[in-house]
């Protein structure tokens, strides 16, 4: 259990980080202007692959996380757990308690690593806009337009569509691997009534109705890519725009509550994205609940 003293320490640490972020963002006063909806090209690799500021941010953060985890873990965890290890284990156990009833015990063992990595990646990328230097530093191109070196990765619709596609293909893999195509087609197009419970004519009429409903269900499944990507993009881009406007109004006091708001929204959106992916997978693979 998290004691009141430790909770106050965590709150103070978050407050200090966000306050330092605001101050460091304004050490070098650059003109931020309005936030662009599209990611801005910085340079090209091999003369054909464009590298945008959101992609560069993603590369830098991923490399920092990889080296940080390697440095923290070192040669492995010791027999006596440290505070960091105990906190990490508590976090994993809490996620397990949430996801295992959703996915089912069998699928959980295989899908949990993917969902854990997905949540961690989303959480870091959603909060990357709060890091000092992100959305602050840049240069003026030959056309007189200001281009940022770094912007939050998920403020780019291309990134969120990619994450939504990863979620969709993970759902497709786990569903077909652990439930099978037959269960999918039966759940989507199959007649949900028992033949002995209704008259024969009504049974076949309902069968035709459920086939039509199945096609609507297919459209809703494909629309998950749109809903997941636009929800994440809208929240991150909206938060970036809000913080930029507040910083342009006043650099030090006014933006602080909005930093906390963005921290909360980014964390919630990472959890929502992960739990929706788990729910989509568990709808067909959770045999324990389906048997009940």
DSSP 134-199: TTT-EEE-TTS-EEES---GGGSHHHHHHHHHHHHHHHHHHHHHHT-HHHHHHHHHS--S-TTTS-
pLDDT, one tens digit per residue, over 261-270 is: 888 888 899 9
Query: Out of 22-26, 148-152, 282-286, which region has the weakest mean confidence (pLDDT)?
Result: 22-26
CA distances in angstroms from 213 to 118, 129, 171, 191, 225, listed in the order given: 31, 42, 21, 10, 20
pLDDT at 76: 59
- 3-state SS class at 38: coil
- 179 CB-contact burial (10 Å; exposed 0-12 / middle 13-18 / buried 19+): buried
Angle separating helix axes 105-126 and 53-73, nearest 10 degrees: 120
pLDDT value, residue 32: 46
Token duo for residue 8: 């106050």
Select the more confidently predicted residue: 179 or 249. 179
Task: Tell me how far apart the terminal alpha carbons of the chain are, to the nearest angstrom.
Answer: 33
Q: What is the tens place of the pLDDT at every residue in 81-140?
A: 667 677 777 888 888 888 888 888 888 888 888 998 899 889 988 888 777 777 667 677
pTM (2 d.p.): 0.79
> Mind listing the pLDDT tens digit for each residue in 130-177?
777 776 676 777 776 677 778 888 888 888 999 999 999 999 999 888
> Any idea what DSSP says for residue 49?
E
What percentage of the chain exceeds 90 in pLDDT? Answer: 13
Cα angle: 149, vertex 154, 160; to 5 degrees: 135
Q: State the pLDDT at residue 277.
A: 92
pLDDT of res. 21: 57
How much is the average pLDDT of 199-209? 78
User: How much is the mean pLDDT over the chain?
Assistant: 78
DSSP annotation of 41 reads E
pLDDT at 31 over 70: no
What mean pLDDT do residues 207-236 have?
88
Phi, psi at residue 44, to the nearest 5°? Answer: -125, 135
Q: How far apart are CA 243 and CA 239, in angstroms?
A: 6
């Amino acid at each position: 259990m998290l004691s009141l003293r430790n909770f106050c320490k965590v709150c103070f640490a978050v407050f200090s980080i966000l306050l330092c972020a605001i101050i460091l963002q304004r050490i070098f006063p650059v003109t931020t202007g309005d936030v662009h909806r599209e990611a801005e090209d910085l340079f090209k690799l091999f003369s054909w692959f464009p590298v945008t500021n959101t992609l560069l941010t993603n590369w830098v953060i991923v490399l920092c996380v990889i080296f940080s985890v390697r440095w923290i873990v070192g040669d492995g965890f010791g027999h006596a757990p440290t505070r960091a290890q105990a906190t990490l284990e508590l976090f994993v156990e809490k996620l397990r308690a949430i996801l295992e009833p959703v996915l089912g015990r069998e699928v959980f063992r295989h899908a949990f690593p993917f969902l854990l990595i997905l949540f961690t990646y989303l959480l870091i990328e959603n909060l990357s806009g709060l890091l000092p230097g992100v959305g602050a530093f840049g240069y003026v191109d030959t056309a007189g337009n200001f281009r940022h070196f770094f912007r939050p990765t998920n403020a780019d619709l291309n990134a969120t569509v990619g994450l939504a596609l990863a979620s969709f293909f993970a759902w497709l893999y786990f569903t077909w691997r652990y439930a099978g195509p037959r269960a999918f087609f039966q759940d989507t197009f199959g007649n949900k009534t028992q033949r002995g419970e209704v008259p024969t004519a009504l049974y076949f009429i309902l069968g035709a109705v459920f086939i039509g409903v199945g096609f609507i269900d297919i459209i809703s499944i494909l629309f998950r890519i749109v809903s997941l990507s636009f929800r994440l993009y809208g929240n991150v881009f909206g938060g970036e725009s809000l913080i930029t406007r507040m910083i342009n109004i006043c650099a030090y006091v006014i933006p602080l509550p909005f930093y906390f708001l963005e921290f909360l929204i980014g964390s919630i959106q990472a959890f929502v994205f992960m739990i929706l992916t788990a729910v989509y997978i568990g709808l067909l693979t959770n045999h324990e609940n389906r048997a009940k």
